[in-house]
Structures are given as C-alpha cells and as structure tokens.
Amino acid sequence: MAPADQLVLVDDDATVRTLTLNRPSRLNAFTADSYRLLAERLHDADRDTAVHVVVLRGAGRAFCSGVDVELLGADAGAGVRTRGTQRRGSEGLLDAFERLVDALTALTTPLIAAVHGPAVGIGATILLHCDVVLVAEGARLRFPFTSVRTAPEAGSSWLLPAVVGPQRAAELLYTSRWVEAHEAVALGLALRCCPADRLEEEVKGLAVTVAAQPPAAVAAAKKLLRADRADAVKAAVGRELDEARHLRQVLGPIWGA
C-alpha cells in the first residue's frame, strides 16, 4: 500500500499541475486518507499562482473504483454514517469526504479529468465537478448507489440531471448500469473519447491551451459558469447524507457492487 502522503501524486509541467490517484493495486479506491490528501492537493493548487490548470488522473489500470469498501469495512461509504457519530472501520471517512466535496466546489482553477478504465461511485461523481472530462476508449462509468443500497453522493443528485437531463439521470441512478466511453460523450459526461494510447497527449494539449490564456479571464469564465452552484451542491449533499442514513436504517449496511 502506498504511504499516506503518496496516495495522490503531484507533478508540475510549467503551469499545468497533474494530480494522480495512486492506489493502483486497489484501482485507486478512496480511503479517508486519500479523500483528505486530494482535498489538500486541490487547495494547494488553487493557492499557487503558478498553477493555471489542474489535471486529475488515475495510476495503473483505472481512474478510480470508488470508496474502498473492503479496506474500510462493510459500513464504509461516503454518506453511510450518521452525522456526529463514528463507526468501526470508517472513522473520519465522512468528514474527509465532505472536505473533498468542499474543495472541488470551491476550486477556482480549471480542473480537467483524464479517465481510463473504470470510474465508479466517487470515481464517477467526481467527474461532475470537473470542468472538462476526456475519456479513453474502454473507459466505463457507473453510478452504483441503488445497487449497493445507498443514496447518490457528492452532490450528484443535483449535478447529474444538470448535465444529462432529469430523465437520463433517473435512468442512470435507478439502474446503476455501466456507461461506456462513447455514450459518456453522447450524454455530455465527457467532452470526447480518445484512443487509450493518446489520452495523455490529448489531455496535455487541452491543458496547455487553457493554461496559455490569461488566468484571471479563465477564472472569471469559470466563476460565471458556476454561479450559484456551490449552494446547490451543498444543499444536495445534505439531502443525500440524510437519505443514506435513512437507507442504512431500513436496508442495513452497503455492500460492494
């Protein structure tokens, strides 16, 4: 297992900072430590005036397989525990998760995701917080919450219908089905699909183009595009946590998809 401070790697190339989720042996599944570290890395990038664009990617065979249920126990899950309580195996998980969502919502620097392999749970919902998403051929997204007996998370109950429309969002959330790369593009979940061996090059080219623009002008555009979004996401996260708590009482702990 990677040391805690290596769960999210940082690499700077001129004004582009790449953050790499680094638990390839677990398909980059999140733990409380990696939630916290990614939030810190995002804050650091936003405070650094030399960083004009952030790229988010995953090491190994996947972008991110979600939260690590096996490692953290059957009670693990972003919104599983009741607020103000702790459960064995998931201490600090909810607080760390909320910190990450706050960091994503507050981020003023453009965030580009490079997705290959599976992107499941938080691995899929985090993409809704990104400004631009590029997917490799063979990438697959899944919002698995009904199948694991919990509620949508990370504000996806508001963000997903805003991106794909209410009917498609309902279908994706109700069925927990897989979304293949080309469908992700068709639905607006990604900008374009690239051959797997060209994903890094395509993402780098886009990041460099954005980074070359005046940072203040890009920040203004992002601010306008996301006006009123932070409050809506915060309210959605609160509702999602309430529903996750209710479902745990009714259905019991979540289980791995």
Kindly report, residue by residue over 114-172, the tens digit of the pLDDT: 999 999 999 999 999 999 999 999 999 999 999 999 999 999 999 999 999 999 999 99
Give me the mean pLDDT over the 24-30 stretch. 96
pLDDT at res. 253: 77
**pLDDT, greater one: 26 or 84:** 26
Return the SS3 of 138: coil
pLDDT at res. 238: 97
pLDDT at res. 3: 79
Q: What is the mean pLDDT of the chain?
A: 91
Q: What is the pTM of this model?
A: 0.91
Tokens 């979940």 locate to 189
Report d(CA 155, CA 230) in Å as an integer: 10
Report d(CA 242, CA 217) in Å as an integer: 38
5: confidence class by pLDDT, cuts 50, 70, 90: confident
Report d(CA 104, CA 100) in Å as an integer: 6
Of 6-10, 77-81, 214-218, the one with minimum mean pLDDT is: 77-81
Q: Looking at the domain 4-196+219-251, which fold is it?
A: 2-enoyl-CoA Hydratase; Chain A, domain 1 (3.90.226)
Tokens 């919502």 locate to 105
Return the SS3 of 81: coil
Give me the mean pLDDT over the 216-224 stretch. 98
Question: 118-120 and 111-115: which strand pairing?
Answer: unpaired
Give me the mean pLDDT over the 71-91 stretch. 41
Report d(CA 80, CA 255) in Å as an integer: 11
pLDDT at res. 1: 62
Q: Is 155 left (phi over 0), alpha (psi -120 to 50) or beta?
A: left
CB distance 222 to 106 below 8 Å: no
Phi, psi of 166 (to 5 degrees): -65, -40
pLDDT at res. 85: 36
Give me the mean pLDDT over the 74-97 stretch. 53
Report d(CA 84, CA 107) in Å as an integer: 26
pLDDT at 78 over 80: no
How do the domains of the chain map onto residue ranges?
4-196+219-251
Sign for the CA dihedral angle at 32, 29, 241, 44 comes to: positive
CB distance 99 to 35 below 8 Å: yes
pLDDT at res. 80: 39
Strand residue runs (E) in the chain: 8-13, 16-21, 53-58, 111-115, 118-120, 132-136, 140-142, 178-180, 192-194
- N residues, the chain: 257
